[in-house]
Amino acid sequence: MAQWTSAVGAAQLARLLTSQQERPAGPGSRRPPAYRALADGIRLLVLEGRVPVAARLPAERELALSLSVSRTTVAAAYEALRTEGFLESRRGAGSWTAVPAGNPLPARGLEPLPPEALGSVIDLGCAALPAPEPWLTRAVQGALEELPPYAHTHGDYPAGLPALRAMIAERYTARGIPTMPEQIMVTTGAMGAMDAICHLFAGRGERIAVESPSYANILQLMREAGARLVPVAMAEGLSGWDMDRWRQVLREAAPRLAYVVADFHNPTGALADEDQRRRLVDAARSAGTVLVADETMSELWLDEGVDMPRPVCGFDRAGSTVITVGSASKAFWAGMRIGWVRAAPDVIRSLVAARAYADLGTPVLEQLAVNWLFSTGGWEQAVDLRRGQARENRDALVAAVRRELPDWDFEVPAGGLTLWVRAGGLSGSRLAEAGERVGVRVPSGPRFGVDGAFEGYVRLPFTVGGAVAEEAAVRLAAAARLVETGATGGAESPRTFVA
């Protein structure tokens, strides 16, 4: 990486270092030298993602003053980090955080499990649940009844079926966000929506600000589009978004786009409150940044009494700063590849025009099925069923992990589909590798960061429950023992598990 894309101030870094809990020294052990403790503290912040990769660190003298240590101590710590590959420097440009060469992002973990492995491997890779029947079948049957008139046309609707565009617009209006059909484009899932937005707004080499951590598949989509990702570290736990940090990054890096998941964030499960949403939109407007709000999880609140804030676009009075992405894939079923974009009419026209060189349009039958769900009340009943499934799975998985892996640390979100787990000091990448050997697939933390951050984390989705969740936790504990002992190869083949 040639240069830094964000910066962390001396006072901020000092606060982060101070917040780290020191482990008590064992009998006969000695404290490391001050420079070594400082280097280890910064390295841990990078690996946990609390300081982004490619963040410019403060000058030696500034950090020394903030920490009340000698400049020699800071210089020695920086040199140690450079030697280990966690820091890069260039005369005149300063020093910025990095991840050592040879630590590639795991190549597996989020793609669907092959059908032939379903009997022996528990899949915690994809955050997706089975279809909420009988609503899928009813929706398809309803779509077939509505299909004949469309079958007499060419079948290409680049902006989406007019009836579905009008229905989606009506649903936004009912949420207090006046919307016209001309502000809606139907896409092939949220991934199709993000792909179109990235190609329109962020050409190769453009900067895109992203939460750190963020949704792995979207990060990879942006990388493949040639974007330069600018990570903005999330706050601890479920508190989510550090608005001062966001304002600083948007002002200094001036990214063309910013991508956020404000509703039950993937992977942490955090829910942005109204003040955070308002300040985020204001910061994006001031910086001239287009803010993309992914609300694919917005209907998946799981606990009673969750007070859902207004959509992010509700704080964009002029309608020129926020682009909203929605989808049926998370709230209903991943196999229903219907997504949509809500934006200003001129943005929609540009997206539709560019679509001629991509996929031309979204399948008509699936659009009719989603429209049937929206227009009959079937959507609300199906999503309510989905919430019940996810809630039961979440509670079973939380109980099982706490019993089998008491050293693992996480907060339980009030919605969404995922737990973001600090794995007791173990390597998430090694856990993912060991998990496959004992029959449980789990995505490692670096998949959700930029350039290898979050090595100490794994993401656990609410996709299994009951006895399967208990067995998944048992297998994760077995994988953890393999990592702790440094065992390689020779792992016992996983037994077939029947739910």
What share of the chain in percent tops pLDDT 70?
Answer: 90
Check whether 113 has a pLDDT greater than 50: yes
pLDDT class of 7 with cuts at 50, 70, 90: confident
Round the average pLDDT of the chain to a whole number and report it. 88
What share of the chain in percent tops pLDDT 90?
Answer: 69
- State residue 497's pLDDT score: 37
- State residue 112's pLDDT score: 63
Residue pLDDT, tens place only, 21-41: 444 444 444 677 999 989 988
What's the distance, Cα to Cα, between the start and end of the chain in Å? 47
pLDDT class of 452 with cuts at 50, 70, 90: low
- Greater confidence (24 vs 196) lies with 196
- State residue 12's pLDDT score: 85
Place of tokens 């920086």: 78
Helices then strands, counting H and E runs in the chain, come out as 16, 15
Cα 34 to Cα 39: distance, rounded to the nearest angstrom: 9
* Tokens at 488, concatenated: 């390689």
Please tell me the total number of residues recorded for the chain in this structure. Answer: 499
Arithmetic mean of pLDDT, 344-357: 91
- State residue 393's pLDDT score: 97
Residue pLDDT, tens place only, 245-254: 999 999 999 9
For residue 384, CA distances in Å to 108, 132, 273 come to 32, 9, 23
- State residue 361's pLDDT score: 86
Residue pLDDT, tens place only, 259-310: 999 999 999 999 999 999 999 999 999 999 999 999 999 999 999 989 999 9
Check whether 108 has a pLDDT greater than 50: no
Q: Which residues pair with 229 in a beta bridge?
A: 208
Check whether 50 has a pLDDT greater than 80: no
Cα 496 to Cα 146: distance, rounded to the nearest angstrom: 44
pLDDT class of 488 with cuts at 50, 70, 90: very low
Cα 435 to Cα 32: distance, rounded to the nearest angstrom: 33
